[in-house]
Amino acid sequence: MSQAISSAPHHCRTRYYSTKDMQVHQLNEAGRGGRQIIRATAKFLVKQYVSNNWIRYCYVLAKGISTKIVIPVLPILHELVFEKLKLYLRKQYLHRDRSWRNPVSESIYQVITSIPANFNPKVTVIVPSYNDAGSLRERLNSIYQQTFSNFEVILLDDGSTDKSRDILEEYCHRYPRITRCSFEEESVTTTQWARGIQLARGDLVWIAETGDYCSTTLLAELVKYFANEAVMLAYCKNELVDGRFDEPVNSSTEYPHEVNFELGPDQFVMSAHKLVNKAWSIKSNVPKISSTIFRHPGKLELLNNKNWRRMKIFGDWIFYLHLIRGGLVAFSPQVTNYSRLHQHNASQGASSTRCLYEEQEQVAKALITLYKLETQVVIRQTRTLKSSWRTFHMDCSEDSFIRRYDDEWIQKAVLERKPNLLMASFALTAGGGETFPIQLANLLKIAGYGITFLNCHKAPTEVGVRRMLLPTIPLLELDTLSKLATVIDDMGIELVHSHHSWVDVCVSYFLEDHSDVQLVVTSHGIYEMTPPAVLAQIFPLLRKRVNKFVYLTDKNLPVFKSHQFDTDCFVKIGNALDIIPVTPVSRETFGVSEEAFLICLVSRAIPEKGWEEAIETVKLAREISQRDIHLLLIGAGPEYERLKPLTEDKFVHFLGFRANVRDYFAASDLGFLPSRYPAESFPLVLIECLHSNRPILASNLGEIENMLSTSKGRAGTVFDLNNWNIPITEVARLIVEYVENTELYRNHLYQVPEAVSKFNPLTLREKYEAVYLELIKEG
């Protein structure tokens, strides 16, 4: 019997467990359950730490007390609680299955099933009209009867000769609160769109053409997708109906099968990269712009492009390609846009001319210069274009086509295409390491890069910081970073740029086996203050995975050198900020007279940024000089919460977070940065102050002294710390010097223009571009 069992095929054998086996199995199961509980607890504790300013403040306070009391008596206990336990929790938090893969694009991203209660974006409805009096009322009624109510309407007319203008004015008078009219001379359709977008005040835009009508729930259905801030465009079914009888002719859901799109009729949220490679590189299945809603594109360069404004057929296709780049597209079959098929519509008339081919060629070139196309897509696209050429240029040889669109041109365009970048940020909150990636992303987007911005959301989002990001940049938030590798594949990302040590480690961890994606890390100084035990855990991974490190100041380098990093992987690039208009805030806003000497401190409200010392310093300066000196404290964090209720002095003004800090610096006389933050390297706030044409008084940390230096002196004053403490008496005297010595103040003020000229945003962008393109070329 035993022989029969042993000789049976392995898959047919029954496994019998002994009592010992059962005990071992139960222990293993208990161990796995215990580890899951430990990791869940670690995840909770770490998430609380990174998202709650008060908890972080308590941790810093407890660590400081332990340093003074516990270390002299029991150093092992301090190391166990504040180094080893923290390291263990972080390790457990990062212990995830990085091999997670989801091949279906639509299921990667968040799909909103209904409009969230706290989500109510304003929609601008643009109605471009020209001689459509017969169908205009039906069009307008389908707009004003929408179930989603937060919208405005802009009625445009370009020289109609029928009664269109009378009807538009009638509706403008009927709905005056939400309607505006703009009547001009006749122009091309795309020019009308551009004019309407420039007038739009909404977060989202719907161009509702006058020959169409739609479901009254169209807005309610499509708006919900934009709760996912990476969705740049959402569209619905489009049915063509006979212009005379309103009978269906066909639907946009039938279009995909015509060219083997394989999109299908079901709802989806898909990356622009995948959608273009799968479908839109050959043909857009959005026949009418009326079936789409899109994010307000702001100052999208395409809107002023003369060639695009002259397009009559494929202007919408090119517009979509620019708009969705780096983001997501949503489709819903639940609502329908109906387009009348007129006997002499513009598209049919134009299709019999060479205009069709010429615009098709423009689309093909736009695709190659904007998107990372698969080889077979380029081949198929060339074949489609050549077919059109033969149709409309029967009298021309094939050589003439090759001269316009040859393989050499394609290869050159592919090489010159700006790569797709993922800018990864710790959180959308105040702080140099958090706002700098936004500034850099904006500069790169304007320069033609495909940019996706990843918010790891490890701190609450500041609305003002969120608004810094250009509206044309998709904002991606993932429910788990374990999806990162899948998302990068799906979105065609070629390079990831990280700006925070937590993000550096997570990205390196989840992309460890993704060597085809280049990884750049900008160190903003945090590694110098990281405990050695933590560095020993994370540096081997960073050394293996990061392709290039950018550092701001020489003091950032020793910690990497001591851990045997290859110095060839490091490049020094300073900070810079974009130049924007500055409008000083009225001092009356916070009750300060024009005669007072006003000092402005802008920073994260944490102890190391010296808020408490700043108050003591200004208080002492007032006593010494007997002058009316005031202090503005701008920023959010635990020190703001702690000090505001405790401070009764009328000369201290707690303003909280402000996005337009330059306007407050400009309203002041002097900037102030009394920092004792060990990671202080190349503070952006100093550049903000100089851009406001004000000198600054600052701690002598990192590159601050060099930042203020000019050929004729400094654009401010620096002071040394005393054993990492602010020398309050010395700094108070420096303030008094500024208050009482007008010549000194003016001399430093005159140095500001030369000092700020060193921080050119275009130079900064070019230096980062050189890093990116070198890596892409090597990759």
Residue that is written with structure tokens 């989002």 in the block? 461
Position 471 pLDDT exceeds 80: yes
Take residue 218 and report the two structure tokens written for it. 């169209």
Domain ranges in the chain with CATH number 3.40.50.2000: 420-576, 587-759
Confidence of residue 55 (pLDDT cuts 50, 70, 90): low
Confidence of residue 111 (pLDDT cuts 50, 70, 90): confident
Position 693 pLDDT exceeds 70: yes
Take residue 437 and report the two structure tokens written for it. 């990636």
Partner residues linked to 518 by β-bridges: 495
Partner residues linked to 718 by β-bridges: 698
Q: What is the pLDDT of residue 427?
A: 95
Contact 327/230 with Cβ under 8 angstroms?
yes
Q: Is 179 helix (H, G, I), strand (E, B) or coil?
A: strand
Position 199 pLDDT exceeds 60: yes
Take residue 45 and report the two structure tokens written for it. 């504790």
Position 256 pLDDT exceeds 80: no
Residue 262, sorted as left (phi over 0), alpha (psi -120 to 50) or beta, turns out to be left
As a whole-number percent, the residues of the chain with pLDDT over 90 amount to: 61
Confidence of residue 253 (pLDDT cuts 50, 70, 90): low
Partner residues linked to 519 by β-bridges: 496
Contact 620/729 with Cβ under 8 angstroms?
yes
Q: Using the Cα atoms of residue 436, residue 437, residue 438 and residue 440 in order, give the sign of their dihedral.
A: positive
Q: Name the average pLDDT for the chain.
A: 85
Confidence of residue 610 (pLDDT cuts 50, 70, 90): very high
Pairing of strands 179-184, 151-158: parallel
The torsion angles phi and psi of 308, rounded to 5 degrees, stand at -65, -40
Distance of CA 71 to the CA centre of its chain: 43
- E strand or H helix that includes residue 231: strand 231-242
Q: Is 765 helix (H, G, I), strand (E, B) or coil?
A: helix
Contact 280/274 with Cβ under 8 angstroms?
no
Cα–Cα distance measured from residue 459 to residue 763, given in angstroms and rounded to the nearest whole number: 31
Instruction: Specify burial of residue 76 (Cβ count, 10 A radius: 0-12, 13-18, 19+).
Output: exposed
Q: Is 313 helix (H, G, I), strand (E, B) or coil?
A: coil
Contact 462/425 with Cβ under 8 angstroms?
no
Position 72 pLDDT exceeds 90: no
- Single-letter code of the amino acid located at 352: S
Q: What is the pLDDT of residue 47?
A: 56
Q: What is the pLDDT of residue 360?
A: 77
- Sorted by sequence, the CB contacts under 8 Å of residue 745 that are 6+ apart come out as 669, 670, 695, 738
- Rg of the chain over all Cα atoms, to the nearest angstrom: 31
Of the segments 245-249, 486-490, 694-698, which one has the largest average pLDDT value? Answer: 694-698
In degrees, to the nearest 5, what angle opens at C-alpha 104 toward C-alphas 103 and 110?
Answer: 125
Domain 420-576 classification at class level: alpha beta
Choose the CATH number for 122-371+373-415 among 3.30.200.20, 3.90.550.10, 3.40.50.720, 1.10.260.40: 3.90.550.10
Position 353 pLDDT exceeds 70: no
Q: What is the pLDDT of residue 374?
A: 86
Instruction: Report the 3 state secondary structure along 588-634.
Output: HHHCCCCCCEEEEEECCCCHHHCHHHHHHHHHHHHHHHCCCEEEEEE
Contact 197/205 with Cβ under 8 angstroms?
yes
Q: What is the pLDDT of residue 87?
A: 62
Q: What is the pLDDT of residue 404?
A: 60
Q: What is the pLDDT of residue 410?
A: 72
Residue 111, sorted as left (phi over 0), alpha (psi -120 to 50) or beta, turns out to be beta
Cα–Cα distance measured from residue 647 to residue 742, given in angstroms and rounded to the nearest whole number: 30
Q: CATH code for 587-759? A: 3.40.50.2000
Q: What is the pLDDT of residue 490?
A: 94
Domain ranges in the chain with CATH number 3.90.550.10: 122-371+373-415
Position 347 pLDDT exceeds 60: no
Instruction: Specify burial of residue 256 (Cβ count, 10 A radius: 0-12, 13-18, 19+).
Output: middle
Average pLDDT of the segment spanning 72-94: 68
Confidence of residue 606 (pLDDT cuts 50, 70, 90): very high
Contact 507/422 with Cβ under 8 angstroms?
no
Cα–Cα distance measured from residue 211 to residue 517, given in angstroms and rounded to the nearest whole number: 47
Position 100 pLDDT exceeds 80: no
Cα–Cα distance measured from residue 104 to residue 654, given in angstroms and rounded to the nearest whole number: 50
- Higher-pLDDT residue of 447 and 255 is 447
Q: What is the pLDDT of residue 413?
A: 75
Q: What global pTM score does this model have?
A: 0.82
How many residues does the structure list for the chain?
779
